Structure 1
Amino acid sequence: MNKNELATLLKKHHKDAFLWASHCCYYNQEEGKEVLQRTYLKIVDKKAIFKEKSTFKTWLFSVIRFTAIDYLKKKKTYESLENVKIGIEDTPYEIHTIDYKKLLKQLPERQHQVLLLAFYHDMTLTEIATITQLHIGTVRTHYERGKETMRTLVLKENV
């Protein structure tokens, strides 16, 4: 893959990549920017090479995930999710809405990750298994359990 093709693909997936990097950094957008920058540097320095064994987006998300893990390990300061602003803007009118991000935070971490990648980033379970380095059966289990838990939480929210 030449530099122009790489640049085009990175630009195409930049927004989703930033959102995933922020998620990997517990919704801290500044840390997400730092992780994404480090990811891009890894790619440019050829420390991470796309070998076309999966889709580009799957590979990119995997590189972001591992970069975030390394970054957070080195930083060793974890902020509680309750203190993090996610950036949801208030609607100017009164509607009964469900805060799905709030409900997602109530799920166990793996279920949260799987549902976020599946529904928000439109990834297949196979791609999610590649990114999280879990067996496809494990991903399916987290996916089904996460959907069931979300269903229960949404029903409680509507009562």
Structure 2
Amino acid sequence: MNTIDRSDTGGDDQILDRFRSGDELALRWLYDRYGAAVLHLGQTSLGNRHDAEDVVQATFVAAWQSRERYDPRLGSPLAWLLGIARRKAVDLIRLRSRQDRVIDTMRQVETAGAGAGGPDPDTVIDRLVIADELRGLEPAQRQVLALTFYDDLTHVQIAALTGMPLGTVKSHLRRGIARLRSRWEVDRAASGS
């Protein structure tokens, strides 16, 4: 049998129990029941069906992978799925924004290089040092700094997005900046600037 007959299962609660225990038919039932709502949220957030369909897929994959953590006492399956979908849509918007900034930066470098014999070597070196040092930070610090500087988010927004306490976000930011500043000063002193 390829479908779930709700009269045989005892209703939504039993279907959700089956979903949490790894029953793929229950996942299919959730998709059939809530997929259109997730797609609507994606289209509303992103403005096009293709990206919205990507959000639907990412949402249900994430739901399946984290199914053991779903707690029906904390909210309905629809609320849970829409929460995941919102985060996936925001992730996609940020990704597109970063891609646009990279393309703009590359165009600026090409334009600057065409008129003045290439980009300023000090600027290029500074950017490489920062990128290298960011890679050396612990993942949580790197994430907080990237969200602060590249996505221009506030401390409160970062805390809400990552689930970190606000004090932890501030600490990661402070320590990350201190480490970058320290590396910057060491490199400046070594170069004699």
Q: Relative contact order: is structure 1 or structure 2 higher (C-alpha 8 Å, sep ≥ 6)?
A: 1
Structure with more of its chain in helix, by fraction: 2
- Give the TM-score taking structure 1 as reference length: 0.50
The structure number with the bigger radius of gyration is 2
- Give the TM-score taking structure 2 as reference length: 0.42
